[in-house]
């Protein structure tokens, strides 16, 4: 083979080799890009699943806390026949679980068609000592048996009821025997939460029966 032919062959082989390397490099580059894309997708899916798991875990924890609070509240109301302790338990539920330091508890006197203050915290007890049946939001709730929650109505309380957040009728077999009024929420609590409405239901029945039982006990004694 002539020298010129040999050099030409070497050059051709080198070009082919370099071209093969370039093509292989391009192929590997595409493969790396595909793997990187797949890895990013997998990482994103894992992060999304981790977030979902964390959120679900927090939800379960919150549900467990809510159930524990409801159990404690129920036990506090039904665990004693001492009237003062029942009233204190109602106030504690409103203060610590619902989050308000302004609460009034009234019982209905059917003969006088009026509500009489049984217990209160953070409000003027003398001003609220008696409420005629049907007067204002508190008296209306006692008259109709319909719960009042400020976020569920267009009615805007005024006067001494201006800061009323909720008013819960206390019922025994659908008969109203009293009401609980909750005024301003604590500053750190922006609004009522779902568990608060469960507490309203619990108070509406359990507080009513607890107060009724303590009253009967006092009469019998």
Q: Quick one: pLDDT at residue 42?
A: 75
Tokens 């005629």 correspond to what residue? 132
- Judge contact between 72 and 162, C-beta under 8 A: no
Q: Quick one: pLDDT at residue 24?
A: 78
Measured CA to CA, the distance from residue 38 to residue 20 in angstroms comes to 27
Q: Quick one: pLDDT at residue 3?
A: 62
Question: What are the boundaries of each domain within the chain?
Answer: 1-78, 81-220
pLDDT 10s digits, 104-117: 999 999 899 999 99
Q: Quick one: pLDDT at residue 195?
A: 87
What is the residue-averaged pLDDT of the chain? 83
Band (212; pLDDT cuts 50, 70, 90): confident
- 167 pLDDT exceeds 60? yes
More confident residue, 150 or 71: 150
Percent of the chain beyond pLDDT 90? 39
More confident residue, 138 or 84: 138
Band (32; pLDDT cuts 50, 70, 90): confident
Assigned architecture for domain 81-220: 2-Layer Sandwich (3.30)
């Amino acid at each position: 083979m002539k020298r010129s032919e040999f050099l030409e062959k070497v050059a051709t082989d080198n070009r082919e080799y370099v071209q093969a390397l370039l093509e292989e490099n391009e192929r590997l580059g595409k493969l790396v890009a595909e793997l990187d894309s797949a890895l990013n997708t997998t990482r994103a899916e894992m992060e999304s699943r981790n977030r979902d798991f964390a959120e679900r875990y927090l939800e379960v924890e919150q549900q467990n806390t809510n159930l524990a609070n409801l159990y404690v509240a129920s036990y506090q109301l039904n665990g004693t026949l001492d009237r003062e302790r029942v009233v204190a338990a109602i106030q504690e539920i409103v203060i610590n679980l619902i989050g308000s330091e302004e609460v009034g508890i009234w019982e209905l006197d059917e003969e006088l068609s009026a509500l009489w203050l049984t217990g209160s915290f953070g409000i003027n007890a003398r001003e609220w000592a008696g409420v005629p049946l049907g007067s204002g939001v508190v008296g209306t709730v006692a008259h109709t048996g319909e719960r009042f929650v400020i976020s569920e109505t267009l009615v805007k309380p005024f006067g001494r009821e201006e800061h009323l957040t909720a008013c819960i009728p206390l019922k025994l077999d659908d008969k109203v025997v009293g009401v609980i009024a909750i005024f301003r929420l604590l500053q750190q609590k922006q609004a009522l939460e779902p568990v608060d409405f469960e507490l309203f239901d619990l108070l509406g029945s359990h507080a009513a029966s607890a107060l009724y039982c303590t009253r009967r006990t006092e009469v019998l004694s």
